[in-house]
Amino acid sequence: MNVIQLSDLVAYLKTFIIEISPEFQLLNNLIDTKLPTMVDILPAQYGDEMKGSSQAFGLPLDEIVLYNIFYEISSLVLFKTTTFLGYIGSLTGIKPGIFNISINERNSLKCGYIGLIEWIFNINRNQSFITFVIRDMLTKSDSYDETVKYLADVSLLAPCYYIIAVPKAGQVRASQTNYDNWKKQPIYDDRLTPCMKCMEAKGKNQVTFQSLFNVLSSRPMPNKETVYISLMEPATGRPW
């Protein structure tokens, strides 16, 4: 992704917010007026990186902040993540030989827009941005147990599902969309049932990166809100 594509993506994101519902025009106005001043409230490393990205890419600071809210240290690779130009958070990540993690949006009445408005107006700033939480966790956590405890103790700005895999024998296949998988899926967006049928047809002996990608990239699994498809192997740290 180059700078022009990044600028186009941010412009589309703003338009998309309004298309969901005209009431979100208020949120769009807040983004333009409030977010540039909010950057100094974020943890220093994130705020500084966003300011640097704004200068490097020649994009307004409010757009860089919007893009980021919706390593290597001491010469050691701490984790790997799939990301975009100018994006400093993590939606997925691998700690080679330890675990990998990804997140899915959880559809609920308390959506991320409510949490963002609460944060902007200082109604509740104890909530954390999910992608920053994932990056912090990948930096600090060295085991599955540490990861689960770290994530369980954090209050999030928007609801989500964490999917964590470890390199142990007898792994369990888990299918997760944007709804609680232990409940009946909505008839207008049931992607879980066809996904499970495809995985059951494959069988555990036929699960490969290619076969998983074929399932995840086939309709109806992706939808208009799908950000990207990422496959990860925790034992080797291999992304795909």
The C-alpha atoms of residue 27 and residue 167 are separated, in whole angstroms, by: 42
Mean pLDDT of the chain: 79
Quote the tokens at residue 233: 């192997």
Q: Please give the share of the chain, as a percent, with pLDDT higher than 90.
A: 15
What pLDDT is stored for residue 71 in this prediction?
44
Provide the residue ranges of all domains of the chain, joining segments of one domain with +.
Answer: 1-70
What value does the mean pLDDT take over residues 171-193? 84
Range of lowest pLDDT (19-23, 138-142, 219-223, 233-237): 19-23
Separation of alpha carbons 109 and 96, rounded Å: 36
Q: What is the pTM of this model?
A: 0.68
Most confident of 9-18, 60-69, 93-102, 207-216: 93-102
The per-residue pLDDT for range 96-105, each reduced to its tens digit, is 889 999 988 8
Whether pLDDT at 157 is above 50? yes
pLDDT, position 28: 63
Three-state DSSP class for 218? coil
Alpha-carbon gap, residue 32 to 195, rounded angstroms? 40
* pLDDT computed for residue 74 by the predictor: 45
- Residue 15 predicted with pLDDT over 80: no
Residue 24 has pLDDT above 90, yes or no: no
Distances 189 to 33, 129, 186, 224 between C-alpha atoms, Å: 35, 26, 6, 12
What strand order describes the sheet that includes 92-95?
Answer: 92-95, 99-105, 160-165
